Amino acid sequence: MATSADVPGDLTLIQHDILRAIRGLSRECGHPPAMREVLGRVGLGSLGALAYQYRKLEGKGYIRRQPGRPRTVEARLPGETVFPSELPDASQFPPDARPLPGAPGETALPGGTGQQRVTWVPVAGRIAAGVPVIPGDPPAGYLPLPTEVVGRQEGIFLLEVTGDSMTGAGIFSGDWVVVRPLFQAPRNGDIVVATVDGVELEGTVKTYKKAGRKVWLMPQNPAQTPIPADKAQFAGKVIAVLRQV
């Protein structure tokens, strides 16, 4: 950590710590860090607070990022006139894949023919326990997923599942679900991500069911009970499930 004596007049102490964290993690990992990795090394309480400091540092010219590209943050420490990628030994920072023309968020795999494509999908947090699903929260990072699986849909995001309420649908604790925002009411049988005030404050993955005027969030586990969902807010529909084996 820096001390106040180390910080030039246009930087705060926390901003100096953020720059050092970005630089240190870049060297250790061989690539620019995700925001959550930086958050673990500085004295801030949330990703939102870190995002605010990122904007301040960008305005002062100490960090730069490529819009719409994950893990591209670079830090210029006080007294330095260029960013690391502009130095002669910039090869220690592996080049990122370049987006394909006309496909925002889509990337051709390095060394490929251009036919193998991935979409960088933001990780929004955990569902059913832990981090709430709050629109506008900065992503915890990004994962590359095959475009053939997730498509090119705008606004999709990833959530890590905890709990066993959906095992009957093949969704287990530790799985990742890809979620597409909903712009209309769900249909019966859709697996949805929802929050229900007073019942599931952190959000939950359940099957949507409407019977008459009554709406339910149905678990796919006989040990769990349905959740009344007349006042539920739906963050999206699950379109894919990922599992590490």
Report the residue count for the chain: 245
Q: Buried (b) or exposed (e) across 129-157, using 16+ Cβ within 10 A?
A: eebebeeebbbbbbbebebeebbeeeebb
229 within 8 A of 204, measured Cβ to Cβ: no
Beta bridge partners of 145: 119
Convert 158-173 to b/e letters by CB count within 10 Å (16 or more is b): bbbbbbbbbbebebee
**Helix, strand, coil in percent for the chain, rounding step 5:** 20, 30, 50
* SS3 readout for 185-216: CCCCCCEEEEEECCCEEEEEEEEEEEECCEEE
Burial pattern 63-101, b for ≥16 Cβ within 10 A else e, equals beeeeebbbebbbbeeeeeebbeeeeeeeebeeebebee
Please identify every residue annotated as catalytic.
Answer: 165, 206
| Pairing outcome for strands 106-108 and 74-75 | unpaired
